Amino acid sequence: MSEHHSHNHAHSHVHRSHGNILVAFFLNLFFVFVEVAGGLLTNSFAILSDAIHDFGDCVAIGFAYIMERLSEKAPDEKYTYGYRRFSLLSAIITSVILIVGSFAIIMGAVKRFHQPSEIHGFGMLIIAVLGVVINGVAVLKTHKGKGINERAISLHLLEDVLGWIAVLVGSLFIYLFNWYFVDGLLSVLIAGFLLFQSSKNIREIFVILLEKTPENVDVNAFRAAVSGVEGVSDVHHLHVWSLDGEKTMATMHIRMLGTTSAAECEKAKKRIITIGGEQGIDHITVQIDLGTECCDSNCDL
């Protein structure tokens, strides 16, 4: 039996990543209070809607920070595969919060369409500018991150910046033309975008939990490459899955020719590990079966 895994986390980078995520968290949290106050003062449901969105972002970033720290723990007797899947827990909770919040936004926006009220367009314009600036700073703090988690947060914050640009444009129409319906329309568009993204995230999470083969791995090509390794006569029990959408795992049994020496077996294992790395597989476990007999009765798996 042989296994291979790699860790690419530098200690200094981990702390820098955590620091950037914390800065993004506090910037978002501060702006939630700005949005709630501004939305109430300007009577803008679009701004209050985005406050819910940004609060969901705060939850996402906060959980991402906590779970990133937790996911770095080494495997132990309680979690022999490690803690990598704890990051999925925060993703599920965040997605559910955003979906519930999106439905609340839509219901409120529908009421606004039937009972429109005056909106202070100039105040809405000022808050929109603040939204672009504050979220823009958060993006700048995280966009150079090397970790996948930090890059994902940066992308999420970039979506916030684009959303506030949309609110900025809408506030101009309200300020110049008194088109108050734009506020409700923007709320529905924001909620629709959140529903789409959150639903997609939940689908991706369930695909991971159901252990579907990651999209970046071609199992047939991988099997063919392993079968072509010198001394390998058969490949079975090949399973490829992801722990958290980032770290890809693989296990397999290979049957070696009866005349294969121990040195040749070791050489074959190293070659298989190299092939797996080329396929984007981070952790490979290989069991070698010598001779013609399988180790169990399920060799067709």
Question: In this predicted model, what pLDDT tens digit does every residue of 28-46 receive, in sequence order?
Answer: 788 888 878 877 877 766 6
End-to-end CA distance of the chain: 18
pTM above 0.75, yes or no: no
Which amino acid, 154? S
Rounded Cα distance, 135 and 83, in Å: 30
Q: Determine contact, residues 101/59, Cβ cutoff 8 Å.
A: no
190 vs 75, 193, 198, CA distance in Å?
A: 40, 5, 12
Q: Domain 2-209 classified CATH 1.20.1510.10?
A: yes
DSSP classification of residue 78? S
- pLDDT tens track for 234-273: 899 999 998 888 789 999 999 987 767 888 888 889 999 9
Other beta carbons less than 10 A from residue 200's beta carbon: 11
Residues of the chain with CATH 3.30.70.1350: 219-290
Please give the class, per CATH, of domain 219-290: alpha beta
- pLDDT tens track for 96-140: 777 777 787 777 667 666 665 555 667 767 877 887 888 788 777
Nearest of 266, 276, 57, 256 to residue 164 by alpha carbon: 57
Rounded Cα distance, 209 and 187, in Å: 33
Nearest of 214, 191, 200, 37 to residue 127 by alpha carbon: 37
Q: Determine contact, residues 164/131, Cβ cutoff 8 Å.
A: yes
